[in-house]
Amino acid sequence: MKAEEIKRKQTSCCLQSWSKQRGLDPLPIARAEGIYLYDFDGNRYADMSSQLVNLNVGHGNRAIIDAIKEQAEKYCYLSPSYGSEPRAELAERIIGLMPDNMGMVFFTNGGADANENAVKIARLYTGRQKVFSRYRSYHGSTFGAGNLTGEPRRYPLEPGIPGFVKFFDPYLYREPLRFGSEEAGCAYYLAKLREQLLYENPDNIAAVVLETVTGSNGVILPPKGYLAGVRRLCDEFGIVMICDEVMAGFGRTGKMFAFEHFDVKPDLVTFAKGVTCGYVQLGGVAVSRRIADYFDNHLLACGLTYSGHPLACAAGIACLDFYRRENILENVNRSGKVLGELLEGLKEKHRCVGDVRYLGLFSAVELVKSKETREPLVPYGKDPEGVMSGLIGRLKRLGFMTYSHENMILIAPPLIITPDQLREEMEKLDTVLSEQDERL
C-alpha cells in the first residue's frame, strides 16, 4: 500500500489508544533499522522512546527474527500444559538473572496481565485482599492493572475494585515540603507509608506494588534508602513486595533490573517489554522460591491461553543472547553517561526545564512555566491548549520521535544507541526547548 492508503485505512478502521479519533495523522512507516524509522518518502526519524520504551534492541534485529522463523518451522503454539523447549529455556534464563531468592516464572502476554497475575498470586499466597500502589504509577489499563494504576488513566474504570489503596510517591521535586536532604525526604515518605499501612489494617494487606523507577509519569527515581525501607515495612507486616520492572527491566537503567541499583530483593517481579523488545509480545511474573513452594500444595488459580507462547519465548532467548553478546549493559552505561551530561546542560540552559531525571538510558525532561515556582507547563492530567502535543509535533518535524506525559518529555532510546547518535538527536531537543523558552 501507498502511505496515504495506509493512513486512510488506519484512521477509518482502527481506534487509536489514548486519543480523540478526529484529526489523527499517523505517520506511515515503510521500514525501520537500528534506532531509525523511515517513511515512504525516505525521511529518517530517530526512535528516541524505543516506541513505547520496549524496543530495547532497536529495529530489524536479525538474530531475533531468525529465532522466530526457526521456531515457527518446528511449531508455533503449544498449550501451557505441554513441555516446550523455548518456554523451559527462557524461564530458566530469567531466573538466572534474578536475585537468589527467586524460584519460578509465570508467563503472561504483556505487562498489564503480568501485574494482574502478580496481585492474584500475592492474594492467594497471603490470604489477604488489600493492595497498595502509588498515585504517579502506571501498571496497565486492563481492569485489574488499571485499578493498580494511580494516574488519570484509571479514571474510566471508576468506581474501582474494593481494596486497591493509593499512596504518594517520594517525588521530591514536586513535594511542597522542603527537606534538608534526600535521606530526610525518604524518612518522611516511609513514615507516612507506615502510618497508612497501620490505618488500613496490615493484617489484610496482601501486597505493595511499585514501579522500581516510575516510568511514563516522569522517570521518578526513589530517594536513597526508600526501596530498602519499603522492603523493611513489607517484612514487618508480612506483606508481599512486588516490583514492576515492565518498563525499567532488561537493561534500561544500566543494570539488568532496576531494583539492583537499590540493594533489595522483591518477592515478585513483573516484566514484559524488554524481554522480547516487542518482536513478539510476552510478559511474566518472577516468583520467589518461598511463594513458588506454597503452590506445590495449593492451586495456582492463574491461566492464560498464550502463557509462554513458543514464538515469544524463542524471541526472548535470542534477545537475552543479544544483550550478553553485544555487551548492552556496558553500552547503556557509556551512552547513559553522555545522556546525563546533555540533560544537565539542557536544564542549566533553558528557562522551561525545571528538572531532568535519568538512570542509564531512562530519562525525562520536566517542563515548567517558572523555575522559581516550579509550576508545571501544563496542569496535571490536562493539556487544554495542546502545548505538550505541539512540542512533540515540532520534535517530529525535526526527525526526533518520542512522546510526552503530563509535563514530561520521555527520552528512552534503544539501548544500542551510540554517544554520537545521542548528541545528534539531543541537538534537536535543544532547538525545540529554545523555541519554548521564547514562548515563555
Indicate the angle between helix axes 419-439 and 387-397, nearest 10 degrees. 140
Q: Mean pLDDT over residues 297-326, rounded? A: 97
Which residue do the cell numbers 531537543 mark?
A: 429
pLDDT one-digit tens code per residue, 4-14: 999 999 999 99
Q: How far apart are CA 2 and CA 41, in angstroms?
A: 10
Question: What integer best gives the mean pLDDT of the chain?
Answer: 97
| pLDDT score at 89 | 98
Q: How far apart are CA 57 and CA 35, in angstroms?
A: 9
pLDDT one-digit tens code per residue, 236-281: 999 999 999 999 999 999 999 999 999 999 999 999 999 999 999 9
Residue type, 189: Y
- Phi and psi for 257 in degrees, rounded to 5? -130, 145
| pLDDT score at 393 | 96
Look at residue 328 and give its three-state secondary structure: helix
List of E strands, 63-162: 102-108, 130-134
Q: What is the largest CA-CA distance in the chain?
A: 66
- Listed in sequence order, the residues at least 6 apart from 307 whose beta carbon sits closer than 8 Å to its beta carbon are 80, 106, 107, 108, 109
pLDDT one-digit tens code per residue, 66-99: 999 999 999 999 999 999 999 999 999 999 999 9
- Listed in sequence order, the residues at least 6 apart from 396 whose beta carbon sits closer than 8 Å to its beta carbon are 27, 45
User: Sign of the CA dihedral 409, 150, 286, 229?
Assistant: positive
Show the domains of the chain with their CATH numbers: 3-60+327-439 (3.90.1150.10), 63-325 (3.40.640.10)
